[in-house]
Structure 1
Amino acid sequence: MNKLAFVFAGQGAQYQGMGKDFYENFSSSREIFETADKALGFGITSVCFEGSEEQLAMTEITQPAIVTVTAAILEAVKEKGVKPDMVAGLSLGEYSALVCSNSLKFEDTVRLVQKRGKFMQEAVPVGVGTMAAIMGLTKDQTREVCEEASIHGVVEPSNFNCPGQTVIGGEVEAVRKACEIAKSKGAKRAMELKVSAPFHTSMLQNAAENLWGELNHVNVSPMEIPVITNVTAKEVLCETQIKETLVKQVMSSVMWEDSIRYMIEQGVSTFVEIGPGKTLSSFIKKIDKTLNIMNIEDLNSFEETINKLEVLGYAKGSNSDWSNEGTWENDSVRVV
């Protein structure tokens, strides 16, 4: 059916200078950065362009920074008249997907994800929880590993990114024991990650509860583009489910591989990753090498991708109004 999907990056894709090309070359992108600065009450723009690695790695900074850059790039894409048939994002990227679908307003979203980052950081004291990437085991094998290691504490699957790459999270002793068990079952690698909390596990329940309180102050509109959620790897059926889904997402496994497979089943043959980095593109290639897979993170990749989309017939002309079209060595690891 040759449908087009946009996918959006999560935390971990950030780097100094991200989004600057678009700020300097598109007035609509510049407005996004200015809106974010005003909504947050500080210069997230200068952080994106000039912030140190340490500053950009702070969860409550990283999350609004990535959402801002992604939204700025999306504005430039809109000017080329390219509209996706469906959207999805890995963890934090799901918020960008909801902005793309016009279900969440950008200014509400950028404030919300800053608080989300703060809640996630504070949910588990530093040193209590951790995460690990497991390479070379199936999803079922990873679940078995977690079950066996659970006698040592909380340990659960956090991310199912692509075939052969899963992420687990939980209490430090249990996660380290799970790594040992994974290696005994034939895992190619089982390595602890440099993260500050066990994201997407039940240990984040306090963060989920705090997020629910913030979501009560956010307006949600009907989706103009179908959104595939991490929690179920299926479409969110109506706007009333969005808040509940975002709360569950904080402490539930990210079903990224299943989300991509579902979109393929629905006829998607072209995926465009929007935002910093190319990690999602690499995941999708490992799921199905026959797909058209592109990314947009700077002007060069923007021009290259737009040209390819025009050839494929997805670009509908400049300044298209989406609102009038109806509703309808190391592998990278992403966990939030």
Structure 2
Amino acid sequence: MTRACIFPGQGSQSVGMGRALAEAFPQARLVLEEVDAALGESLSRLMFEGPTDTLTLTTNAQPALMAASLATLRVLEAERGLDLKRDVACLAGHSLGEYTALAAAGTITITDAARLLRLRGAAMQKAAGPGQGAMAALIGPDAETAGAIAAEAAEADVCEVANDNGAGQVVLSGTRAAVERAVAIAQGRGVKRAVMLNVSAPFHCSLMGPAAEAMRAALDGVQLQPPVVPVYANVLAAPVTDPEAIRNALVAQVTGTVRWRESVLAMVAAGVDSFHEIGTGKVLTGLVKRIAPEAKAGAIGTPEDVAAFPDLR
């Protein structure tokens, strides 16, 4: 078995995330305490108790998802003997999950990851004014077709492919008028489904330029180490190990396409046949099963999931 660990992105958060693990395992509590200390507030309490609308805020959801994933990983290491360098071929994460993957691989500390994601969420929220941007999901077309629809809809505005999630799921992002035009064009072309998304900002498009510059400045102040195992970068759909290349990929990711479908296929081509989604939710597990049905995929986020994981000691 050749394993990859993958880490979820925004949208997988839910009230109660990480609570059962923290109650059962001291390793999980230590991660959450470190994140709380880094942010100077009890993010863990928000994760456990909500309210949902506050947890869903980009500035909270991003570090919370990272915290839940790394808490789960630390428990797997302690309870099941998982050793990333020995047992895992590579790591990847969807959007903010790339930061989680890099923290798991030792490229950045948990403290730096929490602070960077808090800043990233705030910068992405601030980059586009209220109501200026929008996102839409197209269900059915491949990335090339969705890109053509986006280009036609853009006109003098912005409409770009934000996420190529695979299995006929492509997300567009840009100015509201252009994204609404894209939905209308898609519906007129027989796309199975085209719907506007309830999001707070137009992520992963050129409107996020100010956020990319904010992240460049923040990342310049953080020391990056080579990862203990390769991490696949969203914008490259390829592994990166050089710290400067990682820094550049994280900056480019703010405005660039999350090439998730290509990343999964690249990992499979490199020999990965088993994907473990670490943290909250099962979104990536579902995508992997549709992108690479020949591979095994499962989610690990509860004490029961940990108990079911093979003992690698």
TM-score category (smaller protein): over 0.9
Give the equivalent residue in structure 2 for 1:14: 13
TM-score by length of structure 1 reads 0.90
CA distance in 2, matches of 1:204, 1:147: 18
Overall identity of the aligned pairs, in %? 36
1:176-191 → structure 2 map (5 Å cutoff): 176-191=180-195
2:136–2:196 Cα contact (<8 Å) kept: yes
CA distance in 2, matches of 1:85, 1:148: 40
CA distance in 2, matches of 1:147, 1:211: 27
Give the equivalent residue in structure 1 for 2:27: 28
1:28–1:75 Cα contact (<8 Å) kept: yes
2:227–2:241 Cα contact (<8 Å) kept: no
Give the equivalent residue in structure 2 for 1:316: 312
1:133–1:168 Cα contact (<8 Å) kept: yes
Instruction: Give me the CA root mean square deviation.
Output: 1.0
CA distance in 2, matches of 1:15, 1:237: 32
CA distance in 1, matches of 2:2, 2:244: 26
Unaligned runs of 5+ in 2: none
Cα shift at 1:152: 4.9
Give the equivalent residue in structure 1 for 2:177: 173
Cα shift at 1:188: 0.4
CA distance in 2, matches of 1:217, 1:8: 24
- Deviating beyond 3 angstroms after TM superposition, the runs of 4 or more aligned structure 1 residues are none
1:152–1:173 Cα contact (<8 Å) kept: no
Q: C-alpha offsets along residues 230-272 of structure 1, whole Å, 9 cap, x if unaligned?
A: 0010011411211111010010000000000000000000000
Say which is worse superposed, 25-34 or 203-212, in terms of deviation: 25-34
Say whether 1:3 aligns with 2:2. yes
CA distance in 1, matches of 2:144, 2:167: 11
TM-score by length of structure 2 reads 0.96
Cα shift at 1:147: 1.1
- Pick the aligned partner of 1:206 from 210, 218, 243: 210
- Pick the aligned partner of 2:197 from 193, 196, 217: 193
- Which SS does the other structure have where 1:63 is aligned? helix
2:212–2:251 Cα contact (<8 Å) kept: yes
CA distance in 1, matches of 2:136, 2:306: 33
Give the equivalent residue in structure 2 for 1:244: 248
Unaligned runs of 5+ in 1: 318-336
Give the equivalent residue in structure 1 for 2:278: 274
Give the equivalent residue in structure 2 for 1:50: 49
1:137–1:186 Cα contact (<8 Å) kept: no
2:14–2:47 Cα contact (<8 Å) kept: yes
Cα shift at 1:27: 1.2
Cα shift at 1:316: 2.6
Give the equivalent residue in structure 1 for 2:81: 81
Q: C-alpha offsets along residues 291-311 of structure 1, whole Å, 9 cap, x if unaligned?
A: 11111111122222x1xxx3x
Q: C-alpha offsets along residues 29-52 of structure 1, whole Å, 9 cap, x if unaligned?
A: 111111111110000110110111
2:226–2:241 Cα contact (<8 Å) kept: no
